[in-house]
């Protein structure tokens, strides 16, 4: 016989919705804390975008995914380039995350004018200074669904460059992990 946790009666569920609207889903998903990355593409498609829709897919073959909206500049850049890098941001890199999330910033090479970076050896995509870790990837699959495309990349090279804590995003805000005992 299954028994519910003692405090289950204290939980008051909101009324069910016939359909989940984008604003309801956005609100619910904002409660899920994620790490923050900057996806970059090099060469003639030089571009960067802050993203938290990122995950590992497989260890063998080593692969990751990122989800990009169809209307984003990154969508066309990544599709055209076929290679990209993922920069995993440290807790002190909120200004960098905000810069590459700003839809009003200058695009092209100028968006990197005040940013320390070096081209990745395997992809030419910018590896951002101060990032905790990075991955260089070759685009191996793309699955369009709804208003986004899920891009899967096979990891060609990866490295860790810092020891700090990662930058988090939760409840619509950037934050730093508060870990007890550390």
Burial class (CB in 10 A: 0-12, 13-18, 19+), 2: exposed
Count other Cβ atoms within 10 Å, centred on residue 175: 14
pLDDT tier for residue 179 given thresholds of 50, 70 and 90: low
Residues 119/146, Cβ–Cβ less than 8 Å:
no
- Flag whether pLDDT at 180 surpasses 50: no
Burial class (CB in 10 A: 0-12, 13-18, 19+), 7: exposed
Geometric angle at alpha carbon 168, from 162 and 173, rounded to 5°: 140
In a domain, 80, yes or no: yes
In a domain, 120, yes or no: yes
In a domain, 164, yes or no: yes
In a domain, 17, yes or no: no
- The number of distinct structural domains making up the chain is 1
In a domain, 118, yes or no: yes
pLDDT tier for residue 72 given thresholds of 50, 70 and 90: very high
Q: Which CATH number does the domain housing residue 41 bear?
A: 2.30.110.10
For the chain, the C-alpha Rg in angstroms (whole number) is: 18
Residues 175/93, Cβ–Cβ less than 8 Å:
no
In a domain, 150, yes or no: no
- Flag whether pLDDT at 26 surpasses 90: no
In a domain, 3, yes or no: no
Instruction: Tell me the C-alpha distance between 125 and 15, whole Å.
Output: 47
pLDDT of residue 182: 44
In a domain, 81, yes or no: yes
Residue-wise pLDDT for 119-177, tens only, equals: 999 999 999 999 999 999 999 999 999 999 999 999 999 999 878 899 999 888 888 77
The residue range of the domain holding 85 is 33-52+74-136+155-171
């Amino acid at each position: 016989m299954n028994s519910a946790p003692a405090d289950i009666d204290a939980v008051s569920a909101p009324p069910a919705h016939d359909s989940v609207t984008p604003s309801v889903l956005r609100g619910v998903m904002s409660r899920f804390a994620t790490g923050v990355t900057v996806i970059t593409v090099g060469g003639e498609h030089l571009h960067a975008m802050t993203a938290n829709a990122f995950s590992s897919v497989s260890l063998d073959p080593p692969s990751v995914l990122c989800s990009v909206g169809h209307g984003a500049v990154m969508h066309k850049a990544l599709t055209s380039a076929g290679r990209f890098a993922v920069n995993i941001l440290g807790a002190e890199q909120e200004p960098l995350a905000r810069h590459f999330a700003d839809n009003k910033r200058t695009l092209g090479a100028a968006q990197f004018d005040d940013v320390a970076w070096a081209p990745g050896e395997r992809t030419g995509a910018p590896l951002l200074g101060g990032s905790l870790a990075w991955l260089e990837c070759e685009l191996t699959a793309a699955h369009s669904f709804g208003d986004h495309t899920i891009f899967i990349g096979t990891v060609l090279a990866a490295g860790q460059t810092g020891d700090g804590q990662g930058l988090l995003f939760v409840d619509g805000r950037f934050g730093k992990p508060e870990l007890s005992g550390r």
